[in-house]
């Protein structure tokens, strides 16, 4: 078990998400940057479905009460184990009483803490991913305790991989969304010729962009949306739905991000630049 001394800005437990309830309005949830989360799990030879901690912008302070093995991937957040800096993308052994803390955000926006055999928070409707009100919590709370299997003896096959660099990319590869054909030349030009800035309104549900494009007055019947769906509002605002995004919507779905582009965008914060590139 570990205890949360400080929860950080927005830290959650995530796995591959809640499958098979979208027809009842339940978003899939799961790690935002699935690439980083899966590297962390695979370094520990975990199951792909083992739960990791997703840490956003500023990290928590965690005290381990049992031995464990951990890996940190994704954003670089100046992690320290008992005040000693530790490197990401590397397996670290942790002893009883050790304290993991985080400092300055150096790059990216979300980092992933994986633990040997996964975090064992409550599984609700087939997943441990936090999503209120399906789970009681929407993020880690101060003083809460999180269970895991104590592991004192483990010899990892690989102890280190080269840190992924894809967060630094600005281009998001996209495919046509179902309503791509509604776009006129001016809108196409605006989407594919310029850069966009991530707006303050960005979270696990959706990323909004500061710059708009020419609007429209098309009304659609509500239909399914997916993580990575780019919606165009009548006023010309672009909204990119993410892992906790609504399962249906009525705005034209003009573009669809690839899985890799969703991971890249998940590492962007307010003010960062992105561009769309048709695949």
Partner 1 sequence: MKQHPITIKPFGSQAILVEWPNKVEEAILEDILQFNTHLKKNYLDGKEWEFVPAYNSLTLIHREGKINFKKLRRDLMEWYTTRKEVESIDHYLWKLPVSYDKEFAIDLEEIAVILNRTEEEIITAHTGHIYTVYGIGFLPGFMYLGGLPEALETPRKSSPRLKVVKGSVGLAGKQTGIYPQESPGGWNIIGNCPIPIFNVKNEDPCFVSVGDKIQFYEISKKRYDLHKIEGEVGIFKMEKIKLNA
Positions touching partner 1 (CB under 8 A) are 19-26, 124-125, 133-134, 175-178, 220-224, 226, 228-229, 246-249, 253, 256-259
- Give min distance, CB of 46 to partner 1, in A: 18
Q: Tell me the C-alpha distance between 257 and 201, whole Å.
A: 19
Query: Please, are residues 257 and 173 in contact by the beta-carbon 8 Å criterion?
Result: yes
- Give min distance, CB of 100 to partner 1, in A: 31
Using alpha carbons only, how large is the chain's radius of gyration in Å? 19
Comparing CB distances to partner 1, the nearer of 101 and 229 is: 229
Comparing CB distances to partner 1, the nearer of 198 and 257 is: 257
- Give min distance, CB of 278 to partner 1, in A: 13
Beta strands in the chain (DSSP E): 2-6, 10-14, 52-56, 61-64, 68-76, 80-81, 84-85, 92-94, 99-101, 107-115, 145-146, 171-176, 196-202, 206-209, 223-224, 229-232, 238-241, 248-249, 253-257, 273-278
Comparing CB distances to partner 1, the nearer of 22 and 269 is: 22
Q: What share of the chain is helix, strand, coil (3-state, %, to 5)?
A: 15, 35, 55
- Give min distance, CB of 155 to partner 1, in A: 31
- Give min distance, CB of 223 to partner 1, in A: 4
- Give min distance, CB of 204 to partner 1, in A: 14
Q: Tell me the C-alpha distance between 249 and 223, whole Å.
A: 6
Query: Please, are residues 19 and 28 in contact by the beta-carbon 8 Å criterion?
Result: yes
Comparing CB distances to partner 1, the nearer of 17 and 59 is: 17
Comparing CB distances to partner 1, the nearer of 68 and 241 is: 241
Comparing CB distances to partner 1, the nearer of 101 and 127 is: 127
């Amino acid at each position: 078990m570990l205890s949360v001394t400080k929860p950080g800005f927005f830290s959650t437990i995530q796995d591959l998400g809640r499958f098979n309830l979208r027809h009842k309005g339940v978003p899939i949830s799961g790690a935002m940057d699935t690439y980083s989360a899966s590297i962390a799990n695979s370094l520990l030879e975990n199951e792909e479905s083992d739960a990791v901690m997703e840490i956003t912008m500023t990290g928590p302070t965690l005290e381990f009460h049992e031995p464990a093995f951990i890996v940190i991937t994704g954003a670089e957040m100046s992690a320290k184990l008992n005040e000693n800096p530790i490197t990401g993308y590397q397996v670290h052994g942790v002893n009883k009483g050790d304290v993991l803390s985080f400092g300055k955000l150096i790059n990216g926006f979300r980092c992933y803490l994986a633990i040997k055999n996964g975090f064992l928070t409550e599984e609700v409707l087939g997943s441990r991913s936090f999503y209120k009100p399906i789970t009681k919590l929407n993020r880690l709370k101060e003083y809460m305790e999180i269970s895991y299997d104590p592991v004192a003896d483990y010899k990892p096959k690989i102890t280190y991989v080269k840190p992924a660099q894809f967060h630094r990319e600005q281009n998001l590869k996209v495919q046509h969304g179902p309503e791509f054909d509604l776009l006129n030349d001016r809108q196409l030009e605006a989407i594919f010729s310029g850069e966009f800035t991530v707006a303050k309104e960005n979270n696990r549900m959706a990323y909004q962009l500061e710059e708009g494009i020419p609007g429209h007055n098309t009304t659609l019947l509500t239909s399914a949306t997916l993580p990575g769906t780019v919606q165009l509002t009548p006023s010309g605002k672009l909204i990119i739905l993410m892992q906790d995004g609504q399962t249906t919507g009525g705005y034209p779905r003009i573009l669809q991000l690839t899985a890799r582009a969703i991971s890249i965008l998940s590492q962007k914060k307010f003010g960062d630049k992105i561009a769309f590139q048709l695949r």
